[in-house]
A and B are shown apart, each in its own frame.
Chain A
Amino acid sequence: MLLVELEPAIDPVINERAILLASRIRERHARGVRDIAPGYSTVGIHYDPLQTDLSALEHAIEHEFARLASLDVIADRAVIEIPVNYGGSYGPDLDAVATFAGCSVDEVIKRHSARIYRVYMLGFVPGFAYMGRVDPSLAAPRHRVPRERVPAGSVGIAGLQTGVYPVESPGGWQLIGHTTTVMFDANRDQPSLLSAGDLVRFVPAGDR
């Protein structure tokens, strides 16, 4: 795998460049390339070394990136709303996050649902979107010992990141709520609800 590294930062503009670079290489330089995945500020290019001229690929990447380097705007995107039931048995860490933030549970819900989050990348399990940035007051760290089973649909916080567990899996994020939205379904035309670059707002279930 070839890793293209932009500036190492969690930044919407740098992330936008990584996403665009990934799609341009996918569209224009597909020979020998098996798969391309953007990260926060990186692009992973999985290529077949026998079908790919690495120096030509590197040259193409530099060429495409030169055209993106001055890009400093982010394309307008519709905001995807995800309804969340905060707290209760599916949000066992809501109280702990409130304690961390030094505010009420209602205030945590208000702060978490007030922001529009950007999907920076997907990974971990199919359809798991790393979103940010969370209000810094809520940025509770991961559990030191991850839970063995986190139910599908759990909404969590890990530092400045937030996300939804698409399938039951182990996980260390602070769980504050639950959504019934299906984040990933391999039988849908677009299996993952979210793609890198998407915008998301969490809506307290009672507010809809």
Chain B
Amino acid sequence: MNAGVLHIVRPGLLTTVQDLGRYGHQAAGVPVAGPMDTFSHRIANQLAGNAADAATLEITLIGPELIVEADTTMAIAGGMFEVTCDDRPVGIGVTFAVKSGQRLKFGRIVQGARAYLAVAGGVQTEPMLGSRATHLVSHMGGFKGRALTAGDRIPISHEPRPRPHRKSVGLTLPTNGRALLRVIPGPQADWFQADALRAIASVSFRISPQSNRMGYRLQGPPLVRAREDELISEPLGIGAIQVPAAGEPILLMADRQTAGGYPKIGYVISADLPVAGQLAPGDFIEFHVCSHQEAVAALISRERQLLRYADLKDVS
């Protein structure tokens, strides 16, 4: 298998290499990283004929321009960018063949915030601790532990054998920059004034400009603590809604730390994390409290979407 390259002409706002994340080292404080929208990452891989854990490029709000130096098959899933390949439009959620030397150009984003570019065989940067996911703060994984910049040459597999042409309906993206996210109570839900969990479900929170892959700072009515104790730092996971003393919640996302000392009022359920990953600063979140059973049922129906042949057709 010969190597090919993605030659980055313009990097876009924030383009990183991501796979399913660096699990297995959180006891040593190693953050997981991975896609903000794991579901669309998996769709892109599925369309390109890859395993779910193949590395893709995560593209944020302003997309890159790049030259593909390989004959290969690619697919883009997630946020609705206007994309061209040598000035021919390329659809989101469909496979497309690329000839070596062709130029892929991301234009305006119409809906969502992040897209995933998969290439047959996957992005082939050097794995670190078993993963290619980029963690920006600790400069780990991906391409030199950082976001892509102009002139980077990103190694990819060279798989000239065409993959079947497929299409997928993909994730239902948030409309008008608003999303409803379901939450289950967090380990310190009782540290807040009675009904605080219900209260967060009755208002909209705005994602502040000081938000990134680590987390979204949420602007809204402050959440009032009933207990002023200092929490002993404890492990935390993606989707945690932690509340610092000032009462402005932070929704922890892909690049979160492994542990923290702020009380967590709730967790966004796994099925809705991909939707959260399609939000940007200025967008609005409404929360809806649900049970663990509902959370699992929602995840099962989300997973069915990936399995359903109706959504993923080989088309000629």
Chain A residues within CB distance 8 Å of chain B:
1, 3, 5, 8-10, 22, 34-44, 46, 49-50, 54, 121-130, 167, 169, 184, 186, 191-192, 195-196
Contact = CB atoms under 8 A, between A and B. Distances in A.
Nearest to A40: B232
Interface in B266-315: 267, 270, 292, 295-296, 299-300, 303
Interface of B: 23-32, 128-129, 137-140, 187, 232-238, 240, 257-260, 267, 270, 292, 295-296, 299-300, 303
A49 B295 contact: yes
A28 B236 CA distance: 22
9 contacts: A38-B235, A49-B296, A121-B233, A128-B29, A167-B138, A167-B139, A169-B137, A186-B129, A195-B27
B310 to A, nearest CB: 20
B91 to A, nearest CB: 30
A50 B299 contact: yes
B237 A126 contact: no
Nearest to A159: B230
A34 B130 CA distance: 13
Contacts of A41: 232, 234
The 8 residue pairs across chains A and B that have the minimum distance between CB atoms: A44-B235, A1-B237, A123-B259, A122-B29, A192-B28, A37-B26, A39-B234, A42-B234
Given A35-B32, A44-B234, 5 more contacts: A1-B240, A38-B27, A39-B233, A39-B234, A122-B29
Given A125-B138, A167-B138, A167-B139, A22 B26 contact: no
Contacts of A10: 232
Contact of B292 (A3, A54, A186): A54
A22 B234 CA distance: 13
A124 B234 contact: no
A195 B25 CA distance: 11
A39 B234 CA distance: 5
B236 A22 contact: no
A125 B28 CA distance: 9
